[in-house]
Chains A and B, each alone.
Chain A
Amino acid sequence: MIVIVGVGALGSHLVQFIRNEKVDIKVIDFDRVEQKNVMSQFHGKPGVGKNKVAALQQTMDFLFKRQLAVVSNKLVAENIDALMKGATLVVDCLDNGASRKLVQDYVRKHGLPCLHGALAPGGEFGRSIWDAQFVIDSEVGAGAATCEDGEFLPFIALTAAYMARSIQLFLKDGKKIGFSISPVGAVAI
């Protein structure tokens, strides 16, 4: 079972890109869909106000008849054992360093494969990177605002697509291939 933590910008697109994989998918996110999310995430207007995992579950069922297991709790140290139960691959699409650290510590402790997705402000760089190579960037640099409109939707979806490709390759033969992604191309890492 693939456990995707965070179904916002990256995670929501990722789910629909891996929908054809013959593996169960669980999504974890406590946040709700806001109007602004519709501009850049794979959440539609009918989902506004709903929990993101519930909205995504309905969308995936409606469009593709693809079922998801959903958890609308916030992932914390106290529940991570229960929420990760059955995971054979963990995918981190989180939006904060503390939760990323929680996931990283967990997968390393339990020897679970983990793919991380990350974006730079300004839509200039993205990463699909396996845990062994992943370092959480703790500081941020100056840059342009990123969520005022849907300007970066294509790049968000592009990064999610590369994450889906990393997952596809892993599920096929166990290869852990990541990508550094810029708007003009990607480099395998």
Chain B
Amino acid sequence: MNDIKDTEARVNVTFSGANGDLPDPVMFQATDGDIRAWVTEAVRTGGVPGIPAAPNADFSDFVIDRFTATEARPWNLLAVRPKTPFGFATCDHCTECFLKRVGRSCCGCGSKR
């Protein structure tokens, strides 16, 4: 991973609280669909160091951030990550709470807003 060309990017994956890089760089301009497919395959087969194999891993709802190289990080980076919707999901104070979608309250107050 030391020789990443300007047209390539390191792929960093965060999944289920674990984090790791794909062993090889990919084209920076690869499509989101391609990146998701590669990452899904890699995680399912245990091909991402640092992330235990997860045969049912699903990245269809994940976000792919594209970061060009910087002084602090002299290579392009594709970050595959879970969505960070708002702050931390709560109950009756968060109108877009994900718990609303799964239909249960989060703090025992009974609210499903």
**A94 is contacted by which of B81, B87, B91, B106 (Cβ under 8 Å)?**
B87
Is the CB–CB distance between B94 and A95 below 8 Å? yes
Count of chain A residues with a beta carbon within 8 Å of a chain B beta carbon: 48
Q: Is the CB of A180 within 8 A of B81?
A: yes
Q: A140-B98, A145-B99, A147-B90 are in contact. Are A175 and B72 (CB under 8 A)?
A: yes
User: What is the CA–CA distance of A31 and B93 in the complex, to the nearest angstrom?
Assistant: 9
Q: How many angstroms from the CA of A143 to the CA of B102 in the assembled complex?
A: 9
8 contacts between A and B (CB under 8 A): A9-B88, A119-B84, A124-B15, A142-B102, A143-B89, A180-B12, A180-B81, A184-B18
Chain B residues near A (Cβ < 8 Å): 12, 14-19, 50, 61-63, 65, 67, 70-73, 77, 79, 81-91, 93-96, 98-99, 101-102, 104, 106-108
Q: Main secondary structure on chain B at its contact with chain A? A: loop
| B72 and A177 contacting across the interface, CB-CB below 8 Å | yes
A25 at the interface (CB under 8 A from B): no
Bound-complex Cα distance A20 to B83 (A) = 32
Contacts of B72 in A (CB 8 A): 175, 177, 188
A140 and B85 form a contact (CB under 8 A)? yes
The reply to whether A189 and B17 form a contact with Cβ atoms under 8 Å apart is: no
